[in-house]
Amino acid sequence: MNARSQQFVLIPELAAIMAAVPPLPVVTPQSVAAVRRRVDEAAARQPRPEVHSVADRVLPGPAGDIPVRIYYPGPAERLPVLVFAHGGGWSICGIETHEGICREIANRSGCAVVSVEYRLAPEHVFPAAAEDFYAAACWVAEHAEEIGVDPARVAVGGDSAGGNLAAVAALMTRDRGGPRFAFQLLAYPALDALSERPSALANAHAPMLDRETSQSMWSAYGGATDFTQPYLSPLYAPELAGLAPGLIVTAQYDTGRDDAHAYAERVSGAGGAMEVLEVEGAVHGFLSWFAQVPACSHALDHACDALRTALGHPAVR
């Protein structure tokens, strides 16, 4: 361990994993293909828990078809549902890389999970990913009975860049008079492309995702857009009233930790309800190690319990 990394006192089991996992490299048009291959190979080694059933579909989107994969924890009979956006800096990852976490959320929450394959940057810059995810979430709410879920119990969620897309979908549906989402489940979401809050600086060299790579991902997705555009950086929305309640799961050593708290404070100050769960000794992306690290599993339990409770679903454990 070098002197710089000693400032990050990780959960022991997570520290052992991070010792073998190099930080994500910077994303550029030249490097993105190699980064995608690396992430795909790593994800293929993750556990994929059994679920009741899985269905692949294609939904209509603003620029063509949007593939989705639906995970059912039980018979498809008006189940509550989480429409999920995978992380990966809007530029890497997809349905396959997030198979494990989506299956586990379905099993632990008792909710169906619809995982969305939105368009990726840098080939497709803002607002492609946001519009794809919002279109998919609207389709699920408007065609719920077609896929065996309850239109009154639709939540949006995601991790990292996917948390950004879920938060943006909550803003979009409020602004555009779309369907009413019942909950937001945001795991270490990207909320402010220009953040200079203390955690952005203190965790600039944190394991897993450092600030340089994070900023490269914002640039790949944002392109020439003003980074204070609220559908890109939700913390710049002038008003955060009228949003679905939610939970933000964040990590002590995440650059966006203070952004998460700031967002929750603004939502709560506008009359909403946004809880924050900050996990000490954790890094960006930590929920993905639910099978190896007990503390990550406990945090995922908290998130799934919050989701299940918000959607009025009975306990599954």
Q: Which of 115, 160, 214, 216 is catalytic?
A: 160
**Given pLDDT bands bounded at 50, 70 and 90, which one contains residue 1?**
very low
Q: Say which DSSP state 143 is in.
A: T
Is 214 tagged catalytic? no
Q: Summarize pLDDT for 118-163 with one digit per residue, the tens.
A: 999 999 999 999 999 999 999 999 999 999 999 999 999 999 999 9
Q: Summarize pLDDT for 166-179 with one digit per residue, the tens.
A: 999 999 999 999 99
Burial class (CB in 10 A: 0-12, 13-18, 19+), 157: buried
Give the rounded distance of the alpha carbon of 290 from its chain centre.
Answer: 15
Q: Summarize pLDDT for 25-55 with one digit per residue, the tens.
A: 999 999 999 999 999 998 888 889 999 999 9
Which residue, chain included where needed, has tokens 């997030």? Answer: 98
Q: Is the pLDDT of residue 96 over 80?
A: yes
- For residue 2, the model assigns a pLDDT of 38
Angle at 259 between CA 257 and CA 263, to 5 degrees: 125
Q: Is the pLDDT of residue 15 over 90?
A: yes
Helix axes 294-310, 12-20, angle to 10 degrees: 110
Q: Which of 192, 254, 258, 259 is catalytic?
A: 254
Is 143 tagged catalytic? no
Top pLDDT among 76 and 126 is at: 126
3-state class of 286 per DSSP? helix
- For residue 278, the model assigns a pLDDT of 98
Amino acid at 2: N
- For residue 22, the model assigns a pLDDT of 85
Domains of the chain: 4-310 (3.40.50.1820)
Is 284 tagged catalytic? yes
